[in-house]
Amino acid sequence: MKRISILFVCMGNICRSPLAQGIFGHLVAEAGLTRDYAIDSAGTGGWHEGEPPDRRSIATATSHGIDISGQRARRIRSSDFRDFDLILAMDRDNLAALEESALPGANIRLFGDIALGTGEDIPDPYYGVPEGFELVYTRLLTGCCRLLETLGAERTSCSGNTSSVR
């Protein structure tokens, strides 16, 4: 199997995309497919470069057995458009920003289209209530499970449970 590289993208790379990276990475590891995937995340803006994910994203991931505390925010680079097979934007605003700066041939899609099949945006929980992070986690877990299934993996860790990955 050819190694598949996936980049999850949100605005600042501290809330949604680090969660998506952590969830998808966990699912890939649970399926024993770590060698088959390269997974990363980035932001369309560089305000938080070098910072860890938002403490609420870290806490939400930790409560589900996923450690994202070692991730560091970065801004999307032009080389990402060449280096990643699939770039998944968390919402339409980030999708538009990515398409505006993309190199020809980049495979940029909305997470809600390819992973959820609903076309929905994953809401930015940054300015909302703490429960918003749990809602985002649940949508990302559902989408990441479906994405892994779409890419052809047997998913033993996604057996209908959208509240945890343990």
Tokens read off for 107: 């495979």
Q: How far apart are CA 52 and CA 13, in angstroms?
A: 9
Q: Residue 78: is its pLDDT beyond 70? A: yes
Q: Which amino acid is at 34?
A: T
Tokens read off for 51: 């910072």
Give mean pLDDT, residues 37-65.
Answer: 97
Q: Which amino acid is at 114?
A: I
Task: Please give the positions annotated as active site.
Answer: 10, 16, 124
- Give pLDDT, residue 106: 94
Q: How far apart are CA 24 and CA 140, in angstroms?
A: 9
Query: pTM of the full predicted structure?
Result: 0.92
Chain centroid offset of residue 11 CA: 12
- Give pLDDT, residue 153: 55
> Which helix (H) or strand (E) element contains residue 148?
helix 131-150
pLDDT digits (tens, 9 = 90+) for 108-136: 999 999 999 999 999 999 999 889 999 99
* Beta bridge pairs of residue 109: 88
* Beta bridge pairs of residue 10: 43
pLDDT digits (tens, 9 = 90+) for 129-166: 889 999 999 999 999 999 999 987 543 446 544 444 43
Give the pLDDT band of residue 1 (cuts 50, 70, 90): low
- Give pLDDT, residue 130: 83
Chain centroid offset of residue 71 CA: 12
Give mean pLDDT, residues 48-75.
Answer: 97
In words, the CATH class of domain 4-150 is alpha beta
- Helix 16-30 crosses helix 131-150 at what angle (to 10 degrees)? 50
> The tokens 């097979």 sit on which residue?
85
Of the candidate ranges 79-83, 86-90, 105-109, 159-163, the one whose mean pLDDT is the lowest: 159-163
Q: Residue 12: is its pLDDT beyond 90? A: yes
Give Dmax over CA atoms of the chain in angstroms: 42
